[in-house]
């Protein structure tokens, strides 16, 4: 114990006596450990922290699939059949999240509703805070389902915590009795404001048709059953259903996803990339500090040798030196931990769409433990090698011969080379992201997104029960929107581009035999004026008109991708397709338009077909309006226009299309920002390493350079000599980094969606740039050394 106290005392004294070194090291470590801990805190919240659901590790989601479409809504009847037949699960419930209008207060509002079966609530661990949950009988088919369980947040914010049990609220225009208030809770799919029996969903009766796929499901695996085993069983059941119901289930599969994967989704690779990148930066920082430690150790060689001569065993000396490193790491860890609390907030704010986790990002025991392990680990990492090396000195030489040792140049060169190699990998990764980002920024979306305002509303089934009534409201709504001052054009559309909404439909060409897996295309329903409003070019044929109404011949407009796929080399105008139902509909193509990015900027092109909204009316619709200036300033006028027709009709999601474009770009911009920031850190640290190593190496070679100068070497010759040796390290390290980056590029592309290929131009540009900057950095001490005065240099020894 006393030894430890002595070591600590001496370590602290050493640091106080070298404040510059101590400060530089602690700040470097604090940044490295702080950033690593902050990212781990996010990682922990998303991927490690236990989920607040019963038997969460056995909870899975179930989505229908078609070839190439891994995440589709399924039919209630199919999930019922799976529940009855599957032996690998204990229970299965269905769920459908959907916007719900809540009215009866000062203003109508849109909330998030979840239409569920009673067992879904049990599976997801929803608990009643007041009243009770939904009973099986209330969610069974045939029941009115006219009850609701409100969330704690909804109950408090909208109803002020009043006694609501047994009272009625108006949801989607229909009265529902509040039977319970759920305890604070977050579902895997985000906050839910109201839980409603699936039997009470709008047009619930039509959901009991295999052709209507409206829900997904959750299930709990039996203990000991692996997801893969359950997947096999469910796929077998899906195959049986496809044979039994070929008209609706041909090609239809089912996909089981562990619930954590469901929550984290595509964010997991980004989190891994962030953690991996910061780990590389931390490694580079460790290599830098190890280099500094080696230089210090060289200066302390005599002290260490004296201690050894006085009887200190090597283990004792290593412990002493490691104590100094661990004290530095400890200080860096403490400061880093404090910094990480701030950094975490910044990272959380920067992640597009927020952290994919249940609950806030907090510092729990795991995060503190991680910070402690990282601090100790870095201390050992940057301290162990110098400690082991510096205690291996030849005592006889050190104690009896004057002058500093230069024997560790190889080690220092190796460390700085490793830094440059890692730095090259990160820089190439960042450059790839930059090129991908530039490519994404330059991607044309196929329409003019500027000066367009979008929004959406859902007509409550109870109030607008038939297509005729819905169509009438929409016609008046479109007129009202077009009448808003400053609006140049307006249109209605089922799924406005880039908003995240989209529909799909299967189709076939008449006269061709039905295939097991039908062709599929994006399907959208639009009013007249949509293409004009969005500035989508009409390439052939015509736009929809008022004559395209119910009862008139069914028509459609297709985009260029669709035409190329269905009728390559032919005109699409006048051709017919069968849109698969039920019921199947034969439609005639009357127009051809340019292809657009419907789902997302980064998505691959997919054929799209448009139908007239008046021939395919539904309760949900979006609007797009174009006018000069900032489109968002028209939001109040839009609400007023809709409320002038129906005071209880909520309008939500009012945003400019430009903002959706920005949202689409957020992920690649974030990936580039993170990758670029880490690469920049790495480059700075590596260049500091290059500078430090060159400076120190040249200090050791002062006498040699002095002799060379005395023998007549010119300054330029000395520069060439020393810089040439540095260039070998730099070029070798960068080439190794290029090889590493090429090796890692496949992994990198699999981790980061949209990351491009590592091309020759990027490799050459980054490598040449890094080599030039590294040699430029090395040139500073080299130039100084080349001006050596032979007399002074030789006296220095």
Where do contacts with other proteins occur on this chain (CB under 8 A)? 2-3, 6, 10, 13-14, 17, 302-303, 305-316, 394-396, 399-400, 402
Q: How far is the CB of 395 from other proteins (least distance, A)?
A: 4
Cβ nearer to other proteins, comparing 310 with 716: 310
Strands 194-197 and 109-116: parallel
Cβ nearer to other proteins, comparing 84 with 310: 310
Rounded (10°) CA dihedral 735, 737, 740, 742: -70
Which runs of E-coded beta strand occur in 403-518?
452-458, 487-493, 503-508
Kindly tell me the sign of the dihedral angle through the C-alpha atoms of 322, 328, 332, 334. Answer: positive
Cβ nearer to other proteins, comparing 218 with 305: 305
Q: How far is the CB of 383 from other proteins (least distance, A)?
A: 18
Cβ nearer to other proteins, comparing 17 with 87: 17
Does residue 158 contact residue 93 with C-beta atoms inside 8 Å? Answer: no
Q: How far is the CB of 258 from other proteins (least distance, A)?
A: 54
Residue listed under structure tokens 């922990």: 44
Q: How far is the CB of 21 from other proteins (least distance, A)?
A: 13
Closest CA to 594 of 547, 556, 562, 631: 562
DSSP state of 595: -
Helices in 265-313 by DSSP H: which ranges? Answer: 267-299, 301-309
Q: How far is the CB of 729 from other proteins (least distance, A)?
A: 24
Name 390's Cβ contacts closer than 8 Å, sequence gap at least 6. 294, 297, 298, 300, 301, 304, 321
Cβ nearer to other proteins, comparing 7 with 646: 7
Q: How far is the CB of 291 from other proteins (least distance, A)?
A: 22
Cβ nearer to other proteins, comparing 13 with 232: 13
Q: How far is the CB of 312 from other proteins (least distance, A)?
A: 5
**Per residue in 758-794, is it b (16+ CB within 10 Å) or e — as a string?**
beeebbeebbeebbeebbebbbebbeebbebebeebb
Does residue 26 contact residue 339 with C-beta atoms inside 8 Å? Answer: no
Does residue 538 contact residue 558 with C-beta atoms inside 8 Å? Answer: no
Cβ nearer to other proteins, comparing 162 with 401: 401
Q: How far is the CB of 743 from other proteins (least distance, A)?
A: 40
Cβ nearer to other proteins, comparing 323 with 470: 323
Does residue 580 contact residue 481 with C-beta atoms inside 8 Å? Answer: no
Name 295's Cβ contacts closer than 8 Å, sequence gap at least 6. 412, 692, 696
Cβ nearer to other proteins, comparing 88 with 391: 391
Q: How far is the CB of 281 from other proteins (least distance, A)?
A: 32
Cβ nearer to other proteins, comparing 10 with 643: 10
Region at 269 (left for phi over 0; alpha for psi -120 to 50; beta for the rest) = alpha
The pair of structure tokens assigned to 782 is: 């080299």
Taking the C-alpha atoms of residue 746 and residue 538, their distance in angstroms, rounded to an integer, is: 40
Cβ nearer to other proteins, comparing 525 with 704: 704
Cβ nearer to other proteins, comparing 314 with 647: 314
User: How many Cβ atoms are within 10 Å of 78's Cβ, its own excluded?
Assistant: 25
Question: Residue 624 in 3-state DSSP?
Answer: strand
Q: How far is the CB of 403 from other proteins (least distance, A)?
A: 11
DSSP state of 142: T
Q: How far is the CB of 7 from other proteins (least distance, A)?
A: 10
Taking the C-alpha atoms of residue 526 and residue 636, their distance in angstroms, rounded to an integer, is: 24
Q: How far is the CB of 314 from other proteins (least distance, A)?
A: 6
Cβ nearer to other proteins, comparing 406 with 503: 406
Residue listed under structure tokens 């009795």: 177
DSSP state of 515: P
Q: How far is the CB of 705 from other proteins (least distance, A)?
A: 22
DSSP, residue by residue, 211-259: T---BEEEEEEPTT--HHHHHHHHHHHHHHHHHH-HHHHTT-EEEEEEH
Q: How far is the CB of 681 from other proteins (least distance, A)?
A: 33
Cβ nearer to other proteins, comparing 4 with 183: 4
Q: How far is CA 579 from CA 552, 554, 588, 609, 661, in A?
A: 17, 11, 10, 10, 30
């Amino acid at each position: 114990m006393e030894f430890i106290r002595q070591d600590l005392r001496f370590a602290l004294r050493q640091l106080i006596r070298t404040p510059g070194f101590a400060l530089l090291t602690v700040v470097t470590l604090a940044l490295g450990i702080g950033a690593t801990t902050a990212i781990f805190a996010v990682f922990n919240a998303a991927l490690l922290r236990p989920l607040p659901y019963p038997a969460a590790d056995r909870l899975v989601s179930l989505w229908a699939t078609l070839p190439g479409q891994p995440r589709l809504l399924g039919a209630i009847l199919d999930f019922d059949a799976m529940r009855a037949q599957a032996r690998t699960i204990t229970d299965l419930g269905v769920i459908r999240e959907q916007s719900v209008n809540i009215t009866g207060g000062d203003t109508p509002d849109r909330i998030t509703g979840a239409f569920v079966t009673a067992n879904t609530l049990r599976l997801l661990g929803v608990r009643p805070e007041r009243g009770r949950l939904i009973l099986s009988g209330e969610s069974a088919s045939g029941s009115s389902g006219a009850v609701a369980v409100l969330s704690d947040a909804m109950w408090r914010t909208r109803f002020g915590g009043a006694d609501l049990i047994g009272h009625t609220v108006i949801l989607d225009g229909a009265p529902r009795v509040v039977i319970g208030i759920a305890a604070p809770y977050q579902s895997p799919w985000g906050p839910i404001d109201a839980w409603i029996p699936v039997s009470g969903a709008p047009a619930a009766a039509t959901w009991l048709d295999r052709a209507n796929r409206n829900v997904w499901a959750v299930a709990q695996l039996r203990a000991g059953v692996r997801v893969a085993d359950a997947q096999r069983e469910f796929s077998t059941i899906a195959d049986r259903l496809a044979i039994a119901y070929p008209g609706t289930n041909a090609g239809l599969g089912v996909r089981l996803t562990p619930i954590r994967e469901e929550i984290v989704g595509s964010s997991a690779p980004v989190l891994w990339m962030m953690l991996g990148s910061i780990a590389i930066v931390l490694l580079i920082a460790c290599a830098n500090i190890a280099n500094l430690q080696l230089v210090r150790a060289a200066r302390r060689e005599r002290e260490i040798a004296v201690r050894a001569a006085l009887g200190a065993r090597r283990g004792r000396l290593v412990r002493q030196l490691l104590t100094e490193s661990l004290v530095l790491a400890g200080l860096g860890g403490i400061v880093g931990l404090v910094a990480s609390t701030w950094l975490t907030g910044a990272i959380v704010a920067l992640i597009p769409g927020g952290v994919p986790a249940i609950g806030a990002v907090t510092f729990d025991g795991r995060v503190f433990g991680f910070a402690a392990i990282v601090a100790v680990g870095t201390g050992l990492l940057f301290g162990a090698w110098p400690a082991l090396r510096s205690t291996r000195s030849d005592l006889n030489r050190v104690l009896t011969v004057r002058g500093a040792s230069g024997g560790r140049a190889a080690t220092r060169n190796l460390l700085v080379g490793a830094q440059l190699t890692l730095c090259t990998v990160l820089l190439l990764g960042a450059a790839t992201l930059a090129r991908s980002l530039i490519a994404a920024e330059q991607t044309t979306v196929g329409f003019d997104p500027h000066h367009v305002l979008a929004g959406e509303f859902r007509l409550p089934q109870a109030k607008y029960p038939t297509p005729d009534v819905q169509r009438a409201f929409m016609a008046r709504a479109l007129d009202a929107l077009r009448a808003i001052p400053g609006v140049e054009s307006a249109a209605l559309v089922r799924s406005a581009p880039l908003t995240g909404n989209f529909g799909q439909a299967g189709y076939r060409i008449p006269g061709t035999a039905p295939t097991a897996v039908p062709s599929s295309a994006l399907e959208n329903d639009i009013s007249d004026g949509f293409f004009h409003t969005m500035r989508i070019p009409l390439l052939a044929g015509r736009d929809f008109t008022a004559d395209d109404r119910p009862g008139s011949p069914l028509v459609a407009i297709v985009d260029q991708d669709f035409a190329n796929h269905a009728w390559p080399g032919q005109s699409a105008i006048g051709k017919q397709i069968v849109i698969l139902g039920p019921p199947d509909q034969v439609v005639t193509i009357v127009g051809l338009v340019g292809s657009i990015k419907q789902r997302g900027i980064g998505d691959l092109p997919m054929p799209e077909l448009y139908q007239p909204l008046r021939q395919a009316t539904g309760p949900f619709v979006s609007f797009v309006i174009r006018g000069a200036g900032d489109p968002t300033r028209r939001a109040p006028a839009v609400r007023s226009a809709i409320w002038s027709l129906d005071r209880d009709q909520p309008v939500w999601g009012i945003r400019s299309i430009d903002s959706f474009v920005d949202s689409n770009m957020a992920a690649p911009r974030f990936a580039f920002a993170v990758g670029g920031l880490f690469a920049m850190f790495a480059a700075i640290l590596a260049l500091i390493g290059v500078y430090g190593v060159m400076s120190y190496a040249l200090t050791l070679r002062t006498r040699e350079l002095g002799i060379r100068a005395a023998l007549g070497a010119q300054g330029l010759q000395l520069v060439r000599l020393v810089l040439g040796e540095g260039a070998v390290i730099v070029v070798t390290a960068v080439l190794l980094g290029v090889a590493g980056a090429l090796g890692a590029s496949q992994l990198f592309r699999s981790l980061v969606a949209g990351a491009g290929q590592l091309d020759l131009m990027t490799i050459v540009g980054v490598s040449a740039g890094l080599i030039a900057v590294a040699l430029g950095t090395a040139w500073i001490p080299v130039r100084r050394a080349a001006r050596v005065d032979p007399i002074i240099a030789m006296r220095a020894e």
